[in-house]
Amino acid sequence: MIRLDKCLCHLGYGTRKDVKKIIRAKEVTINGVICNKEDMKFDEINDVLVVQGIEVRYQEFVYIMLNKPKDVISATEDQMHTTVLDCIGDVTKGLFPVGRLDIDTVGLCLITNDGKLSHSLLSPKKHVDKKYYVEISTPLTIEHIRLLEDGITIDGDELCKPAKVNIIDDHRLELTISEGKYHQIKRMMIACDSEVTYLKRLTIGPLTLDDRLEEGDWRYCTDEEVELLRQ
């Protein structure tokens, strides 16, 4: 059982004050009966909750896949820039991005309120793979590819873990890394005498960016995707 106002706040309908207004306006029903008390409790699993004419389901944790656009930062709030939470509108209560993408990097951004899962995906001990599509200014040599696959040194003294390299053509490749160093792929390409001109994240562990999502679009992760992330 859960309090109605707590449930609606969790679902992103605003503050307790906002939720109270919605309830007092008779815009909430449970099993077809209009609710008029914000402190009433209901069975969030079996009861049917309708808010402003739309049936909604309570979920303790939310998992969102966003195709992050350029010029958007991986933060919960910022006075100067658009954030990934701005991209998903009102469904932001308690949510945060898992890890970071640079402001000029696009692609897969996982947004959730599940701190345990986030910690698991970001833990250095887990070595969770992340695959990127990369466009570069100068082709890589065979020696550069060998260095990337063996573990390249960036900035003279910082050793990266071995990466997986899939060359598409002279100026395009897919690169899979298991770390999250600051500007890592850009620094790896500089160490290979090249420069990143475009960078897009494709995967986080078993989660793959839905190619139907345009930049700036998002959707909820499926139950199957969430289960894979938890494994």
Task: Report which residue type is found at 95.
Answer: L
CA distance 5 to 21: 10
Are the CB atoms for 185 and 136 separated by under 8 Å?
no
Nearest to 106 by CA among 79, 66, 165, 137: 66
Residues classed as catalytic: 102
103, 150, 193, 208, 215 from 58: Cα distances, Å:
33, 47, 51, 25, 28
Residue type, position 149, single letter: E
